[in-house]
């Protein structure tokens, strides 16, 4: 039983799973199964029903399919629309999960209600757009993640996943929306209902992230599906930077022992004081190097074209 669940009993029966080692990033090109065209829908829309996937220019990413999970949770009658009452319930639901940033959602709801006044309900695409804007606002907010985690914990999460603070906040916003019980855990059974890319991610990464196989994922578990592989060079630079800082603290003769102890303790509690600047410097260097390489390649290509 997880901490914080003293009032709940979890079913521990699970089927043993063989760990998967293939990369989650192959999901960008996952096999899409062709669906049989809905002839009735096509006839009603002038024969273009089967081509809707081609005419839809909205992003087809993880957030889309995650938003659909939330949409279906609030579409209680399953008619593919969110009524005004259901939208009000979602507004209260999201305000409870986004905390300080929820005050910025008011214009979003006002615009959505005005746009859907004629139909009397909100369709799925409009709801997905709403969630996108909410996640975007949460990712840009410094108060939102700090209302959930301490700054030191946020630093560790960012370092372990090789993600920027905005990316961690974005993933946290999605996690909070999928935490339907607000118990700081997401049920794997809920995620298994996902479609498209998100279904592939659940199968590739999140199933194995549930290491104790109790059917629940913490945010740290959930974040593994967003994590990047950290370059070896960056790991070496961070290690060298930490070593240099500790050596400097112990080498400076003007520092008293208590001051050195406090400084070392601060570095241990907040390693991002060192890792943050190193990562930013590394990113700047990589950007400069990549740009220089691109310019050299373009110049070489231009030279070969002129010679031909």
Asked whether residue 29 is domain-assigned, the answer is no
Asked whether residue 266 is domain-assigned, the answer is yes
The 10 Å Cβ neighbour count of residue 82 is 24
Asked whether residue 54 is domain-assigned, the answer is no
CA separation (Å) from 107 to 96, 102, 125, 131? Answer: 17, 11, 18, 13
Domain final residue pick, 163, 197, 223: 223
**Whether 200 and 298 share a structural domain:** no
**Whether 156 and 292 share a structural domain:** no
**Whether 243 and 217 share a structural domain:** no
Choose among 241, 222, 100: nearest CA to 161.
222
- 31-45, 77-91, 134-148: which range is least confident on average? 31-45
How distant is the alpha carbon of residue 266 from its chain centre?
29
**Whether 197 and 296 share a structural domain:** no
pLDDT in tens, 170-225: 999 999 999 999 999 999 999 999 888 888 888 888 888 888 888 999 999 999 88
Question: Average pLDDT, whole number, for the chain?
Answer: 79
**Whether 210 and 267 share a structural domain:** no
**Whether 97 and 244 share a structural domain:** no
**Domain extent for 112:** 59-223
Question: How large is the average pLDDT for residues 152-166?
Answer: 86
State the total domains in the chain: 2
Asked whether residue 1 is domain-assigned, the answer is no
Asked whether residue 160 is domain-assigned, the answer is yes
Asked whether residue 40 is domain-assigned, the answer is no
Question: How large is the average pLDDT for residues 220-241?
Answer: 81
Asked whether residue 2 is domain-assigned, the answer is no
**Beta strand pairing status for 121-123 and 81-83?**
antiparallel
**Whether 205 and 300 share a structural domain:** no
Asked whether residue 44 is domain-assigned, the answer is no
Q: What is the pTM of this model?
A: 0.62
Domain final residue pick, 203, 223, 243: 223
């Amino acid at each position: 039983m997880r901490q914080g669940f003293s009032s709940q009993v979890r079913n521990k029966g699970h089927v043993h799973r063989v760990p998967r080692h293939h990369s989650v990033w192959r999901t960008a090109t996952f096999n899409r199964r062709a669906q049989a065209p809905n002839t009735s829908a096509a006839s009603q829309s002038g024969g273009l029903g089967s081509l809707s996937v081609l005419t839809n220019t909205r992003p087809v990413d993880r957030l889309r399919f995650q938003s659909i999970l939330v949409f279906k949770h609030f579409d209680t009658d399953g008619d593919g629309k969110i009524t005004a009452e259901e939208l009000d319930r979602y507004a209260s639901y999201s305000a409870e999960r986004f905390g300080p940033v929820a005050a910025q959602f008011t214009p979003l709801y006002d615009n959505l209600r005005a746009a859907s006044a004629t139909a009397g309900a909100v369709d799925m695409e409009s709801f997905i757009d709403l969630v996108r804007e909410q996640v975007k606002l949460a990712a840009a907010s410094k108060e939102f993640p700090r209302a959930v985690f301490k700054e030191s914990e946020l630093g560790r999460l960012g370092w372990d996943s090789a993600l920027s603070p905005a990316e961690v906040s974005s993933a946290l916003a999605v996690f909070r929306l999928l935490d339907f019980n607000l118990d700081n855990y997401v049920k794997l059974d809920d995620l298994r209902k996902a479609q498209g890319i998100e279904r592939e991610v659940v199968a590739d990464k999140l199933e194995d992230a549930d290491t104790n196989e109790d059917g629940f994922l913490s945010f740290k578990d959930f974040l593994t599906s967003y994590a990047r592989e950290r370059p070896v060079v960056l790991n070496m630079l961070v290690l060298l930077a930490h070593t240099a800082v500790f050596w400097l603290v112990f080498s400076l003769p003007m520092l008293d022992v208590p001051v050195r102890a406090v400084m070392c303790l601060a570095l241990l509690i907040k390693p991002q004081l060192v890792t943050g600047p190193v990562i930013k410097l590394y990113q700047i260097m990589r950007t400069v190097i990549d740009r220089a390489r691109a310019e050299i390649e373009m110049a070489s290509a231009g030279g070969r074209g002129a010679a031909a």
